[in-house]
C-alpha cells in the first residue's frame, strides 16, 4: 500500500490537470452528469429480474442463461446501442461440449441404478455403449509383482468389479490404494470398465455430490484434457453390490457375478452466447474499450436455484448502467473518441469459456483493443472491511502503467473509494487475477482491471440473493469504472503497454 500511495501522490504532482472534459452540444453536461445516471435504483430494478428464480441460476447453455441474454440484448436495443456482432446481432454464439453426468445409464442384472443414490462417477470418459457384458469380481483389482488379483482370470471384454483399498499383510505398494492404478491394471488386462464398491458411500456423495452432478463444459472441439483415455470407472454403494450382485467383503473372487449395460453417450454440443452492445467512437473509433461482466451462473444446487445476485449479477447490471451512461453522453453530443464495447459473457463459471471464445474469435481486432475493464462480484462487503467504500483492484498495474495511474487519479478526484490492492499481489494464494474473464484479455497483452469486492459466506451458494446486495456499493464501483473508461476512451494517447 505504501508504494502505491507514493506513486499516486507523484502522479498527482506530475499528472497535472483533471480528467478529460469533452465539449458537449449545449455545453452544460459534464462527465459527472453522465456518471450520476448510474443509479442504485436502476441497478436494483435490473438485478431483481436477472437474479430472480425465473432465470434459473443462468447456467451456461441452459434456458435461464438464454433468457438473461435476451433481457440484456433487449436493454441494449432499448438504449440504442448498436448490435455488437457485425451490425447484425447482439449475440456472439459459441458451441460448448456439455457432459452431463446425470445422463449416464448403468443397469446391472436388469436393474437401473440411480445416480448419486446407488452409484456415481467422476470424469471425462469417451462415449461408451456396453450391452450385456459379464461382470467379473476380482477382489481388490491389484496386479503387482508379489500379489495379483488377475492370476488365472480372463477379464477381456468384460467389466471388472473391485473393492476398495489393499489387503493387509501382503507385499503391496500403497500406491494401489489409488483408483487410477486399478483402472489402468484392468485396462491392461482388456477389461471394458471398472465398478468399485465404495466404502462410506453416502458420506462421499454428500461431500462431492454438488461437484459431480454439475455438467462439465468446454469450448467445442477443444479435445479432451486427459490424453491417455481411461476406461469408465464407477462407484457403487455396498448396499447395491450386496442386493443385486450378492457381493460383500467376504465374497470369493474370480467369478462372473452378473451382467451390465452401460450407456455413457452423454456428450452433447449446445450453444451459448456472449451479448455485445457497441458504441462507435468519433475520431479514434478503430480503438476499442471493452467493458465486461459474466452473466452466467451455476444453475441449480440440489433443486435450489443459485441466483448469483452478487456473482455476477452485480457486474452484469453495472455493465447495463455503464452502457446507459455512455449513451446519455452520446445523446448530449459527447460521444467518446474511442469505441466502447459492452460485453456480458457466459461460460465463466465453467472455466471462463465465453471470454476465451471471444478472444480466440474477436469481433473487433485484439490489436486495437486498448483495455478490458472487468467487473465480477461488486455487491457485497467482505470480512476484511467495515463499510462499502472500497473495492479490490486486480491487474491494473500489470500491463499498463498509464491505466493504473488513470484509475488512481479518477478515483482520487471523483469516486474516492479505498482501492484495495491486497489481491493484486502475485503471491496471493487466491490467485484471483487468473479467475475471471479479464484474464483472457490479459493473456493477449491487453491492459485490464478486475473490479471485485471479495468473497462472502453465500459465495457459490443458493443464498447469493438480491436481498443481500448493497446497491450503493455497486453504484460507487460502477461510477469508478465509468470515469476510468471515459478517460481511457477520450484521452489523446492510447494506453501504454509494458510489452
Residues at the interface with Zn ion (CB under 5 A):
311
CB of 375 to Zn ion, least distance (A): 13
Q: Which three cell numbers stand for residue 33?
A: 452528469
* Comparison of 287 and 296: residue with beta carbon closer to Zn ion: 296
Nearer to Zn ion, 111 or 457 (CB): 457
**Closest separation between CB of residue 86 and Zn ion, Å?**
30
Closest to Zn ion by CB, 97 or 311: 311
SS3 65: helix
Q: Are 438 and 395 in contact (CB under 8 A)?
A: yes
Tell me the closest approach of the beta carbon of residue 309 to Zn ion, in angstroms. Answer: 12
Q: Of 311 and 402, which CB lies nearer to Zn ion in the complex structure?
A: 311
C-alpha 170 chain-centroid distance: 46
C-alpha distances out from residue 357 to 90, 269, 347, 362, 497, Å: 15, 15, 9, 8, 23
> Please, which residue, 60 or 477, has the CB nearer to Zn ion?
60
Nearer to Zn ion, 437 or 470 (CB): 437
DSSP for 387-416?
A: SS-EEEEESTTTS-HHHHHHHHHHIIIII-
Look-up of cell digits 438480491: 466
Number of residues assigned to the chain: 499
Tell the smallest beta-carbon distance from residue 460 to Zn ion (Å): 6
Minimum separation from the CB atom of position 495 to Zn ion (A): 28
**Nearest residue to Zn ion on Cβ basis:** 311
Q: How far apart are CA 228 and CA 203, in angstroms?
A: 30
Q: Which whole-number Å values give the CA distances from 309 to 158, 324, 457, 469, in the listed order?
A: 49, 20, 13, 7
Q: Is there a contact between 47 and 466 (Cβ–Cβ < 8 Å)?
A: yes
- The least distance separating Zn ion from the CB of residue 377, rounded to whole angstroms, comes to 7
* 196 vs 436 by CB, closer to Zn ion: 436
Alpha helices in 129-271 (DSSP H): 179-188, 201-213, 238-245
In angstroms, give the least distance from the CB of 322 to Zn ion: 20
Is the backbone of residue 351 left (phi > 0), alpha (psi -120 to 50) or beta? Answer: left
Amino acid at each position: 500500500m505504501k508504494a502505491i500511495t507514493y506513486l499516486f501522490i507523484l502522479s498527482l504532482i506530475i499528472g497535472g490537470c483533471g480528467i478529460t472534459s469533452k465539449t458537449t452540444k449545449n455545453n452544460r453536461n459534464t462527465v459527472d452528469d453522465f456518471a450520476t445516471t448510474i443509479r442504485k435504483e436502476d441497478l436494483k430494478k435490473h438485478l431483481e429480474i436477472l437474479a430472480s428464480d425465473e432465470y434459473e441460476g443462468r447456467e451456461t447453455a441452459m434456458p435461464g442463461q438464454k433468457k438473461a441474454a435476451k433481457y440484456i440484448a433487449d436493454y441494449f436495443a432499448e438504449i440504442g446501442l448498436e448490435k455488437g456482432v457485425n451490425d447484425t446481432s447482439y449475440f456472439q454464439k459459441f458451441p460448448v461440449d456439455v457432459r452431463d453426468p446425470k445422463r449416464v445409464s448403468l443397469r446391472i442384472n436388469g436393474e437401473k441404478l440411480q445416480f448419486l443414490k446407488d452409484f456415481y462417477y467422476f470424469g471425462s470418459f469417451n462415449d461408451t455403449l456396453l450391452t450385456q457384458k459379464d461382470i467379473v469380481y476380482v477382489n481388490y483389482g491389484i496386479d503387482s509383482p508379489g500379489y495379483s488379483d488377475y492370476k488365472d482370470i480372463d477379464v477381456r471384454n468384460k467389466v471388472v468389479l473391485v473393492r476398495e483399498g489393499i489387503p493387509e499383510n501382503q507385499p503391496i505398494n500403497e500406491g494401489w490404494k489409488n483408483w487410477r492404478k486399478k483402472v489402468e491394471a484392468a485396462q491392461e488386462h482388456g477389461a471394458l470398465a471398472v465398478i468399485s464398491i465404495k466404502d462410506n458411500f453416502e458420506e462421499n456423495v454428500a461431500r462431492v455430490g454438488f461437484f459431480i452432478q454439475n455438467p462439465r463444459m468446454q469450448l467445442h472441439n477443444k479435445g479432451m484434457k486427459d490424453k491417455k483415455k481411461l476406461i469408465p470407472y464407477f462407484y457403487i454403494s455396498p448396499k447395491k453390490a450386496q442386493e443385486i450382485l450378492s457381493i460383500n467383503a467376504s465374497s470369493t473372487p474370480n467369478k462372473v457375478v452378473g451382467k451390465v449395460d452401460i450407456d455413457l453417450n452423454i456428450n452433447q454440443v449446445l450453444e451459448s452466447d456472449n451479448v455485445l452492445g457497441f458504441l462507435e467512437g468519433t475520431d479514434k473509433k478503430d480503438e476499442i474499450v471493452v467493458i465486461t461482466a459474466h452473466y452466467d451462473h451455476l444453475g441449480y444446487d440440489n433443486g435450489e436455484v443459485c441466483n448469483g445476485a452478487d456473482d455476477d449479477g452485480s457486474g452484469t447490471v453495472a455493465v447495463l448502467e455503464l452502457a446507459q451512461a455512455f449513451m446519455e453522453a452520446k445523446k448530449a453530443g459527447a460521444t467518446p473518441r474511442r469505441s466502447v464495447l459492452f460485453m456480458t459473457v457466459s461460460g465463466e463459471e465453467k472455466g471462463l469459456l465465453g471470454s476465451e471464445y471471444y478472444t480466440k474469435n474477436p469481433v473487433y481486432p485484439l490489436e486495437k483493443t486498448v483495455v478490458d475493464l472487468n467487473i465480477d462480484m461488486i455487491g457485497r462487503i467482505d470480512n476484511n472491511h467495515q463499510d462499502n467504500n472500497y473495492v479490490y483492484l486486480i491487474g491494473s498495474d500489470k500491463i499498463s502503467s498509464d491505466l493504473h495511474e488513470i484509475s488512481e487519479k479518477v478515483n482520487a478526484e471523483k469516486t474516492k473509494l479505498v482501492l484495495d490492492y491486497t489481491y493484486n499481489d502475485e503471491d496471493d494464494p487466491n490467485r484471483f487475477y487468473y479467475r475471471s474473464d479479464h484474464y483472457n484479455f490479459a493473456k493477449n497483452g491487453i491492459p485490464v482491471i478486475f473490479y471485485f469486492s471479495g468473497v462472502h459466506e453465500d459465495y457459490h451458494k443458493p443464498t447469493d440473493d438480491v436481498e443481500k446486495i448493497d446497491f450503493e456499493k455497486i453504484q460507487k464501483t460502477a461510477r469508478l469504472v465509468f470515469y476510468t473508461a471515459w478517460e481511457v476512451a477520450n484521452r489523446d494517447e492510447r494506453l501504454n503497454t509494458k510489452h
